[in-house]
Copies of this chain bind each other. A is one copy, B any other.
């Protein structure tokens, strides 16, 4: 931490800051310039350093943090890529995984049908929402546990592991009965009670970036999950909120290489939410893989004009198959390949999640 004193700060104010640094258990190094006095705070101590508190001391102009506030998520402390096992493949390896499926699970037939089509087109996992966070209380809120049962049936048929959102701490145990990966939605990225709860489960977590969360805040949210004992965290860039209205969100493609350099956790791109319009999904999926993403999560619906949610950004299955082909070509151009699909259907959930 660095404390910058005001040009007009007094010797007494400077020594008060130094005294506090020492009483907090750290060392203080002084650099006295023409204008500013700078106090470098280094060392280790059990007392946490609260920048804000120093910032309110007399004579202090500003306080700057040096170290990243996350440890478990940091590549500095864990240089090797974390691999998250997913039904025989590993998210985070050279193999690119593609998660695909409808926004909402709308019926047993729908999800089983789509799952079969997704598998044929090359997907490696199945997404589908049972609990839907909708901006309007009057919109369809998901079929709940029934939808999870239907997804489990779809998994039995296809072997595709299930990725599905959990919205509240109270739902965690139930969702864990069915899911292979617990998705934390963008709106819940800073729901710390929920992060705590999934951190105590042993299920892989797909953590979506909040729509106005910085990259550092995303990593801090991951740190919550990691610090509660669950190391199987995948990060998902799904577009951020900006002034641009031509698309639903702005894909922060920079986040892909930035995250790959700051953290060892796998990075997934969601081109459906990050554009909000099916016509742009394939181009952005290609861009994500070209930028170094480890996987994609894509919304697909056989009849977008009938979808109960997110119809506008859902690809039809035939367009999704085209996306897979194009993404595969780009993956090879950057020295990667699509992950192989699960060979045999798995009968129970959690087999992929529990052992690795």
Per a CB cutoff under 8 Å, which of B54, B55, B133, B289 touches A290?
A: B289
Interface residues on A, range: 35 or more
A305 touches B66 (CB 8 A): no
Complex alpha-carbon distance, A240 and B244, angstroms: 9
User: CB-CB < 8 A to A52: which residues of B?
Assistant: 307, 309-312
User: CB-CB < 8 A to A307: which residues of B?
Assistant: 50, 52-53
Complex alpha-carbon distance, A304 and B58, angstroms: 11
Closest residue of chain B to A248 (Cβ to Cβ) is: B254
Known contacts A43-B33, A187-B191; A246 and B55 CB within 8 A of each other: no
Interface residues of A in 3-54 (CB under 8 A from B): 4, 7, 27, 29-36, 38, 40-44, 48, 50, 52-54
Complex alpha-carbon distance, A136 and B255, angstroms: 20
B53 touches A42 (CB 8 A): no
A86 shortest CB reach to chain B, Å: 24
B250 touches A252 (CB 8 A): yes
Closest residue of chain B to A135 (Cβ to Cβ) is: B220
Interface residues of A in 311-342 (CB under 8 A from B): 311-312, 314, 326, 329-330, 332-334
Complex alpha-carbon distance, A215 and B250, angstroms: 12
B290 touches A330 (CB 8 A): yes
User: CB-CB < 8 A to A171: which residues of B?
Assistant: 193
A88 shortest CB reach to chain B, Å: 26
User: CB-CB < 8 A to A107: which residues of B?
Assistant: none
Complex alpha-carbon distance, A168 and B309, angstroms: 26
User: CB-CB < 8 A to A284: which residues of B?
Assistant: 253-254, 257, 291
A97 shortest CB reach to chain B, Å: 18
User: CB-CB < 8 A to A169: which residues of B?
Assistant: 168-170
Most chain B beta-carbon neighbours within 10 Å: one of A42, A48, A288: A42
Per a CB cutoff under 8 Å, which of B30, B255, B286, B291 touches A29?
A: B30
Q: Decide yes or no whether A287 CB sits under 8 A from chain B.
A: yes
Q: Decide yes or no whether A116 CB sits under 8 A from chain B.
A: no
Q: Decide yes or no whether A223 CB sits under 8 A from chain B.
A: yes
User: CB-CB < 8 A to A56: which residues of B?
Assistant: 278, 304-305, 311-312, 314
Closest residue of chain B to A225 (Cβ to Cβ) is: B137
A29 touches B38 (CB 8 A): yes
Q: Decide yes or no whether A292 CB sits under 8 A from chain B.
A: yes
Interface residues of A in 153-174 (CB under 8 A from B): 167-171
A85 shortest CB reach to chain B, Å: 24
Q: Decide yes or no whether A251 CB sits under 8 A from chain B.
A: yes
Q: Decide yes or no whether A202 CB sits under 8 A from chain B.
A: no
Per a CB cutoff under 8 Å, which of B34, B41, B288, B330 touches A333?
A: B330
User: CB-CB < 8 A to A326: which residues of B?
Assistant: 334
A76 touches B34 (CB 8 A): no
Closest residue of chain B to A71 (Cβ to Cβ) is: B138
Task: List 12 A–B pairs whose Cβ atoms lie within 8 Å, in order of A's numbering.
Answer: A35-B66, A40-B40, A133-B192, A211-B212, A250-B252, A251-B253, A251-B254, A253-B253, A287-B288, A330-B330, A330-B334, A333-B333
Q: Which residues of A contact B (CB under 8 A)?
A: 2, 4, 7, 27, 29-36, 38, 40-44, 48, 50, 52-57, 64, 66-67, 69-70, 76, 133-139, 141, 167-171, 187-188, 190-194, 210-212, 214-217, 220, 223-224, 227-228, 240-247, 250-258, 261, 274-275, 278-280, 283-284, 286-292, 304-312, 314, 326, 329-330, 332-334
